[in-house]
Structure 1
Amino acid sequence: MNKRWGAGILAAAMIFMAAPQADATEVISEDVYQWVQSTARQNYYFNKQQFYFAQDDAGYMTPDILLVPVLKTYDQVQIRDVVSKRRWKGLSTSGYDDLVGCAEYLKFNLKEQTVQVTKHDDLDSDWGVLGTTTSDKVVKITELSEKDVDAKFYRAILKYASDHYQEIYDRTQTVKGAKAPKPEVKRSTKENVKDSKDKKKGRVTKSSKRGVRE
């Protein structure tokens, strides 16, 4: 059972299925969940307390990579559509009569402006996982239409991350135990200039990869 999303989201899902236009902000605590938008079929949220920067294998923070869990709740039409697609693909629909939405885990590359849905969990009304899919597909956010629903969702998340950068940075260190990012190792301007002059004079320098006179 997926306890991460909490009882507040479950209540929101039930209200949404009964009345798709219900105001999600009246149901879900803004201290935990951020409602972004609603379409005719889904409500879109992200858990702002679970925003983290990634870490490399050595435990150093990588601020260019942002990890964000999100939640989408469905109305009855969307639920039937999900079930129909699973039947068409020959996948199990056991338990899907209790489907209420999905949890997705997004991986943003802030430098490249891309996003990847690394994991998708279909959820029942007790937030148990009915089915899980993973994907390596990477989407270029800048190539999405301004009117694209997912694009609006992604851009809202990135805007929040930009506005709360230090908060996310500090949380990644305190909660995840990440080390501060590795400092970039750059050669000094003076060294670069000296090396350039030495090459012009035909000298062999330590930084010369060829190790021969020019």
Structure 2
Amino acid sequence: MKMRWGAGLLAAAILFVAQPQGSAEEVISPEIYQWVQSTSRQNYFFNKQQMYFGQDSQGKLDANIVLVPVLKTYDLVQIQDVQAKRRWKMLPMEGYNDLVGTAEYLRFDLDKGTVTVYKHEDLDSEWGVLSVTTSDKAVKIADLSEKDVDGIFYRTILKYAYAHIDELVDRTEKVKKAKVTDDVKKKLAHLKNPELKKAEKEAKAEGNGSDKKKSR
């Protein structure tokens, strides 16, 4: 039995078929998927309705981690390139004549400024999962140039996340049953207002300096 791309994502999506690059965004629901960019080979979307904060082992919301599923649809040249690479690596080709794109699952670490594509799924025209690969390799976003396609994609996703923090918190609480404690609320306040964190850090540094002078 063929696997299907994440049930929650599938239910939220409009079935797509391989399309010319210019029309791909027309067959994917803009209510669910935020289009970011189109290159000559791929269209880039992220699922804004399945964006969550992470959770720690105690079920507490982790405001440092943002989890986002993304979708990339391919043109014919990209499809042929993927097929050729799989043949060269002697990987299974079953179903790859119907390849249309990929689903990837991203984990952003806000403190470290990194992103990890922890799961990659090749998809056919019926959202069937052709293959799955996983990785724990983290990429430093600052190392990607302003013109780098992936860099643009990741920075756009983060910009959206920062602008919708309350929405992400609410969804993570309701759907994932995450706990929001006082320390989590403080972290969230810092995300909304970076200057607040800076001011608190400076005040703490000044306080430590005064204490040292008194002890002399």
TM superposition score normalised by structure 2: 0.80
Q: Give 1:159 deviation, angstroms.
A: 0.7
Specify the code of the residue in structure 1 equivalent to 2:15: L
Q: Does 1:10 align with 2:10?
A: no
2:66 corresponds to which letter in structure 1?
Answer: L
Shift of 1:112: 1.5
* Alpha-carbon distance in structure 2 between the residues aligned to 1:142 and 1:181: 31
Structure 2 regions of 5+ residues with no counterpart?
187-203
User: Which residue pairs with 1:155 in the alignment?
Assistant: 155
- The match for 2:110 is 110
Q: Gaps spanning 5+ residues in structure 1: where? A: 202-214
3-state SS in 2 of match to 1:104: strand
Matches of 1:49 and 1:87 in 2, distance apart? 36
- Counterpart residue number, 1:20: 21
Q: Which residue of 2 aligns with 1:209?
A: none
The whole-number CA distance in structure 2 between the counterparts of 1:158 and 1:138 is 16
Partner of 1:75: 75
1:118-168 CA-partner distances (Å, limit 9, x unpaired): 000001111111111111111111110111111111011001001101100
Compute the RMSD of aligned alpha carbons: 2.6
Query: What is the alpha-carbon distance in structure 2 between the residues aligned to residue 197 and residue 7 of structure 1?
Result: 61
Rg comparison, structure with higher value? 1
Displacement of 1:89 in angstroms is 1.4
The 8 Å contact of residues 24 and 73 in structure 2, kept in 1 or not, is answered as no
**Any conservation in 1 of the 2:70–2:105 contact (CA below 8 Å)?**
yes
**Native 8 Å contact 2:51 2:68 kept in 1:** yes
Higher helix share: 2
| Percent of aligned pairs with the same amino acid | 57
Query: Aligned pair count?
Result: 193
* Within-5 A mapping of 1:54-203: 54-181=54-181, 183=183, 200=215
Structure 1 Cα separation of the partners of residues 52 and 155 of structure 2 = 17
Q: Output the TM-score relative to the length of structure 1.
A: 0.81
Contact 1:50 1:69 in 2 (8 A): yes
- The Cα shift of 1:29 comes to 2.5
Contact 1:53 1:169 in 2 (8 A): yes
